[in-house]
Amino acid sequence: MLIENRYKILNNSDRGGMGEVIFCEDLHLQRQVVLKYLQAGVESRRLLDEQKALSKVRSKHVVQLYDIVNVPGAVSPQPAIVLEFINGEELNAGGLSADTNYLHLIWQISCGLADIHSHEIIHRDIKPGNIKIDGEGVVKILDFGLSRNNATAETRSIIGTPIFMAPELWGDQTIAFDSSIDVYAFGVTCLALLTEEAPLSLCERPPRQPSLTDFSAPFVGLPSEITHTLHQCLAPDRRDRPSMQVIQNLLAKHLLKDRHRATVVLNGTANTLDYKNRRISLNATVGSLTIEYDGLAFNVTQVTGAVYINNTSVSVGMVVPGCCVLTFGSGGSRKFVTFDVSNPEVMP
């Protein structure tokens, strides 16, 4: 059977919480795709919300929308969306260990969510079951049936997957919400990927933020900065939760540990600062500066005289940014030194 004279139905299908899925072959482009339409009785807005969200978001970590078609129905044709087919594994609760591979996985999820939020979209149902890893190891976020635009984000009903729902979603009146509910769900997802035993406080209605001690147990071995930030995703006040961009940057920083390299040019000589050579002292007569690389950042550990970074006076503890100018001295006796940092990227 062909749909729209293009999509050949294959001998398999699936069913989600609200949608029916048909696996098809796109005969024009010779690729497998997914046709999704709503189950009987499900509000038609769900499919329209998914269509609107996916038409706005462009991200390698979000399932792609290819087409909009009609499929045969019991009474009349009904609308369906044609989605990218992801031939990969689903994420399971408690299936991972707190290691570098885990950090790389949740970094990819954070990238997808940061992209979604940058388009003013709230996913609203982040959980392991709505995330897949394709055959090339790239994380894909699925199922935008509950998504909302940030400007119109409110609900009069409690809807979602309970343990992943932020406490503000459990009210009995009209509830306004924002992208921080996805941040909350991301924090619970990060926990769920490591253990099936959630702290009891997360199972209450509404949930309470677990203590840092209770939350941290599955994350043993990860940098404390990451554990604290993921714990903060579950803050009861949504204003206290970090943004997904902040989380993405933090995870990237730790995944790139010891991979940065700085080049410092002084008196015509280039000096390298990296994991092999972690400390460099620059003496320009009118001032001196010591910079150390701790694997995550280049930090000022000693300074004498008048020294400036991009015209800002330097003090111990400052982080030296990439591609900046160090100025030693003031007035007519100034000496300028370039400081360039390579920018390695975390690859999916």
What domains are there in the chain, each with its CATH number?
A: 2-84 (3.30.200.20), 89-255 (1.10.510.10), 262-341 (no CATH)
CA 288 to mean position of chain CA atoms = 40
Q: For tokens 């690389």, what's the residue?
A: 293
* Torsion-angle region of 127 (φ positive above 0: left; ψ -120 to 50: alpha; else: beta): beta
Distance CA 50, CA 54 (A): 6
What is the number of other CB atoms lying within 10 angstroms of the CB of residue 4?
13
pLDDT at 7 (0 to 100): 96
Amino acid 174: pLDDT: 75
Q: What's the CA gap between 162 and 333, in Å, rounded?
A: 66
Question: What pLDDT, on a 0 to 100 scale, did the predictor assign at position 73?
Answer: 75
Q: Say if residues 27 and 44 touch (Cβ distance below 8 Å).
A: no
From residue 260, give the alpha-carbon distance in Å to each of 34, 230, 318, 320. 41, 25, 17, 13
Residues 96 and 194: beta-carbon distance below 8 Å = yes
What are the C-alpha distances in Å from 20 to residues 124, 220, 334? 20, 40, 70
> Is this model's pTM higher than 0.85 or not?
yes
Pairing of strands 89-90, 131-133: antiparallel
How far is it, in rounded angstroms, from Cα 162 to Cα 336? 58
Q: For position 215, what pLDDT does the model report? A: 97
* Radius of gyration for the alpha carbons in the chain, expressed in angstroms and rounded: 25
Give the per-residue pLDDT at 156: 58
Q: Which residues of the chain fall short of a pLDDT of 70?
A: 12-19, 40-43, 74, 150-158
